[in-house]
Structure 1
Amino acid sequence: MAGEGEAARPLLEEKPDVYFDGCPGCAMDRRKAENPGIPYGLFFHMWIINLVTCLPVSSLFPFLYFMIRDLGIAKRVEDIGFYAGFVGASYMLGRALTSIFWGILADRIGRKPIIVITTFSRFPYVLLCLFISIICFIVLISYIWLPETLHTHKVHKKKDDQCRESLITYLSDSKEFDKQCSTSTKNKGLLTNWPLMSSIVLYCITCFDDMAYSEIFSLWAESDKKYGGLSFSSEDVGNVLVVTGASILLYQTFIYPHIVKVLGLINSSRVATILSMVLLFTYPPMANLSRPWLSIVVNIASMLKSCSIATIVTCSFILQNNSVPQDQRATANGIATMLMSLFKAFAPAGAGIVFSWAQKHQHASIFPGDQMVFFLLDIVVLFELIWTFKPFLDIPKQSSSS
């Protein structure tokens, strides 16, 4: 089945015939060849690193509404969303300005030094942010045991010529030789690599949806019911996010791999997108529910929505890495992160402005208040769905073939 071929086929990489002593990339390739099983230890290490990366910005959302209100930044309750949007945008704007630089540098000097350098940061608040800083420091120490994947050796020209001549002799009359030459040419220019760029666009649209939803959900849940919100406290929102985070962990670990094996990367993304669109239409009526049904329904909807986003993001990650060779992945991911950060910088600012407008138009005749907010989110998700079809999304040959 094509879906199984998509999930089972490894990322595009060239396996070296010779392992060079002192090259961390060769050491990693040798370790993978000698231990073909799943490296759960490395996976856990990378999970901790991703957790530390997300904590600084994600931890702000539960109390951002109350922080802007208590500090007196907004003069009216209806204006809180406007200012909250710009706070969320500032972090992603900084990431957008530096992502390509760090990606190119990682392809030159290695992955580990860049990870260590970019871990250092400064947090503006004391209790929660001090705890996050401690976690960052612990993870920083753990980088000592993180293996490098960049190949640092230089192949001798004479040996390289011999290998090339052998390959030409063996494949000169075959279609595989033309295919390899074509693939090599495509890999040289990242910006002209449409399978890469189209998967990055899908990734960016999904991240825009994710960031806008995260911004709006916290503001909407914490706003008063007379403004169409849920009148949740910061603790209530935090509890919902904890349950949602735990569900994503379980989903990504045990359920997502089986879904991709059955449906494939593209169909999994389409199903997740459709589910996300349906869920967004159910959010405005939730304000009419009372506890405990309100908390139950909000938790279920938040879990399904977040798992849908996680599905699309993970599938686009796989498509991106299948589109480039190993020595270009850091630069490719730098481009993806820069574009994604630009989208994420505009998302909270735009979401905050729309939310602030919606608070002042609760009695409009068409799409009053919060209904307009979630309707616009649905429009973004519709663009995600459209982009999963041709000619917009170009699937790498490694992923499309079974």
Structure 2
Amino acid sequence: MAGGEIQEGAAGSEGQEATAPLLEKEKAAAVYVEGCPGCASDRRKAANPGIPYLQFFHVWSIILVSCTFANIIYISLLVFHDKGLACCQNSRRHWILWRFCRLVFNTLFGLSTNYWMAITSRFLVGSLTALLGPIRAYTNEICRPEHQAIGMSLDSTSWAVGLIIGPAIGGYLAQPAEKYPMLFPVNSLFGRFPYFLPCLCISIFCFVILISCIWLPETLHNHKLDKIEDRANGSFIAHSASSEELIEQQVKSVPTKNLLKNWPLMSSIVLYCIFCFDDMAYTEIVSLWSESDRKYGGLSFSPQDVGQVFAITGGSVVLYQTFIYPQIDKILGPINTSRVATVVSMVLLFTYPPMTHLSRPWLPIILNIVSVLKANCLVSIVTCCFILQNNSVNQDQRATADGLATTIMSVFKACAPAGAGIVFSWAQRRQHAFFFPGDQILFFLLVVVEFLGLVWTFKPFLAIPEKFPQN
């Protein structure tokens, strides 16, 4: 009798095990393939749950040198992303290394002897600047899911720092024979080529980073997980992993689909484009508005005053993105963070027109405070969009998705300054209108754009990736 009970219990146990969902069995262990660089990267993340500061710093340096090319001409043509980023699906590392060919063309720009040589070399530099897509994908893959916010925020921080350092290098080192005649005689190489020195310095910086990329680990998998059937094979080793990593591997096993039919991705790209358009239009409008005369509703600022405001704002973005944004994202999540930042940004826009009635010294102080808050709201939304985009696709489509987002965004950013300038000219002619007279209409239209962005963060417009069901 006892033996029968034991056999019956064992049979029941086997039946329960047989009927248990396959997903519950998978939760016990993650499978890694020996010799696969992507699996090696996953194993490192499983063994080291902390923030990968060294890898983040390496990526930070790559983006910094990418942005510090003097007077960057950013060419984001779809043909480059479609053909080039397809190669990136085979190797993130090789794509990043290949982009550093720009240092040759950047150096040639400094040695240009005529207008067309300068235009051609800068076009080639710009056409090789399609690095943001792969580097965002790489940032997403070198860290665990809980550290994506700080990784993406550091990417944005590095780009912001590069936008400051690049023009500074150009401004201080261009035409050295005129600025520093004791160090650079007129008949020297730098005297004959007045823009060679800044280009040479940036190319040397680029070459140092290029050498360091030799040790850059690959993150792409070189096998198809959905074709793995025999787990008893000696080339596979089971390791324990967190639920987030298991979800990541399950996402990789899903067959790829057309990116244009991936609504979670495309809806996040639409949100990204709305706020990039708003950001560029805002930058254009604030610059023109600040320098316009008070009788037209402006502030009568000098170019130096405006430059100081943007310098302070840029510095605040670096600090905010590095230390504050990751904590906010951890509490609210990317979607709720976007919503809160959008509402705060809309409120701040209504505070600009009344500033024309303030006097110094309060005017610069108030403008700086509002500008800092406004810029950090916009950069929070953009970083949230990066996180949503990278978690809406499989790994083998991630770089192409980021490249597609950058391409479409570039079109919106190109249209924003022209559109803002036209609207600004129209606003100057309606100083006595009943509905938002003068420059007030400019900020009202920006509020309208951001309101559209806020609406887009809700269903059914924004499709939420499965990793963020709580939002």
| TM-score (norm. length: structure 1) | 0.74
Give the AA of the match of 1:103.
Answer: L
Instruction: Specify the alignment match of 2:171 in structure 1.
Output: 127
Which of 72, 85, 90 is the aligned partner of 1:103? 85
- Tell whether the 8 Å contact from 1:221 to 1:231 is kept in structure 2 after alignment: yes
Which of 20, 38, 49 is the aligned partner of 1:36? 49
- Tell whether the 8 Å contact from 1:102 to 1:114 is kept in structure 2 after alignment: no
1:347 aligns with 2:416: yes
Secondary structure at the residue paired with 1:191? helix
- Please list every run of 5 or more consecutive structure 2 residues that lacks an aligned counterpart in the other structure: 1-28, 111-117, 119-166, 175-196, 237-245
1:269 aligns with 2:338: yes
Partner Cα distance (1:221, 1:150) in 2 = 46
Deviation of the 1:26 alpha carbon: 4.8
Change (3 A) 1:396 1:164: farther
Deviation of the 1:318 alpha carbon: 0.8
Change (3 A) 1:273 1:331: same
* Alpha-carbon displacement from aligned partner over 1:206-233 (angstroms, at most 9, x marks no partner): 1111111112122222233233222222
Instruction: Specify the alignment match of 1:145 in structure 2.
Output: 212
Change (3 A) 1:164 1:292: farther
Which of 2, 17, 29 is the aligned partner of 2:32? 17
Partner Cα distance (1:156, 1:318) in 2 = 24
Deviation of the 1:135 alpha carbon: 3.9
Partner Cα distance (1:30, 1:199) in 2 = 30
- Please list every run of 5 or more consecutive structure 1 residues that lacks an aligned counterpart in the other structure: 1-13, 61-90, 168-176
Aligned residues: 344
- Tell whether the 8 Å contact from 1:96 to 1:340 is kept in structure 2 after alignment: no
Higher-RCO chain (CA-CA 8 Å, sequence separation at least 6)? 1
Instruction: Specify the alignment match of 1:282 in structure 2.
Output: 351
Partner Cα distance (2:434, 2:220) in 1 = 62
Change (3 A) 1:100 1:371: farther
Of 353-362 and 117-126, more deviation after overlay is shown by 117-126
Q: RMSD in angstroms over aligned alpha carbons?
A: 3.6
Give the AA of the match of 2:211.
Answer: I
Secondary structure at the residue paired with 1:188? coil
Give the AA of the match of 1:145.
Answer: S
Deviation of the 1:16 alpha carbon: 5.7
1:47 aligns with 2:116: no
- Tell whether the 8 Å contact from 2:427 to 2:442 is kept in structure 1 after alignment: yes
- Tell whether the 8 Å contact from 2:65 to 2:205 is kept in structure 1 after alignment: no
1:215 aligns with 2:284: yes
Change (3 A) 1:212 1:137: farther
Partner Cα distance (1:370, 1:51) in 2 = 36
Which of 375, 381, 385 is the aligned partner of 1:316? 385
Change (3 A) 1:186 1:26: closer
Deviation of the 1:140 alpha carbon: 4.4
- Tell whether the 8 Å contact from 1:202 to 1:316 is kept in structure 2 after alignment: yes
**Seq. identity, %:** 53
Of 383-392 and 248-257, more deviation after overlay is shown by 248-257
- Tell whether the 8 Å contact from 1:48 to 1:139 is kept in structure 2 after alignment: no
Give the AA of the match of 2:299.
Answer: L
Instruction: Specify the alignment match of 1:162 in structure 2.
Output: 230
Deviation of the 1:278 alpha carbon: 0.7
Secondary structure at the residue paired with 2:259? coil
Give the AA of the match of 1:299.
Answer: N
Which residues of 2 match residues 1-400 of structure 1 at below 5 A?
A: 17-20=32-35, 24-54=37-67, 94-97=75-78, 98-110=80-92, 111-117=95-101, 121=106, 127=171, 130=174, 133=199, 134-135=201-202, 137-146=204-213, 147-151=216-220, 153=222, 160-163=228-231, 184-185=253-254, 187-400=256-469
Deviation of the 1:326 alpha carbon: 1.8
Change (3 A) 1:343 1:16: farther
Which protein is richer in helix relative to its size?
A: 1
Partner Cα distance (1:150, 1:102) in 2 = 18
Deviation of the 1:113 alpha carbon: 2.8
| TM-score (norm. length: structure 2) | 0.64
* Alpha-carbon displacement from aligned partner over 1:248-296 (angstroms, at most 9, x marks no partner): 1221222212222222221111110001111111111112211111111
Deviation of the 1:200 alpha carbon: 1.1
From the CA coordinates, give the structure whose radius of gyration is larger. Answer: 2
Change (3 A) 1:53 1:204: farther
- Tell whether the 8 Å contact from 1:150 to 1:327 is kept in structure 2 after alignment: no
Instruction: Specify the alignment match of 1:79 in structure 2.
Output: none
Partner Cα distance (2:203, 2:39) in 1 = 29
* Alpha-carbon displacement from aligned partner over 1:76-125 (angstroms, at most 9, x marks no partner): xxxxxxxxxxxxxxx56x32444444432322453323442467555989
Partner Cα distance (1:181, 1:18) in 2 = 15
Partner Cα distance (2:467, 2:441) in 1 = 41
Secondary structure at the residue paired with 1:323? coil
- Tell whether the 8 Å contact from 1:207 to 1:343 is kept in structure 2 after alignment: yes
Give the AA of the match of 2:403.
Answer: G
Name segments (4+ residues, structure 1) moved above 6 Å: 179-183
Secondary structure at the residue paired with 1:399? coil
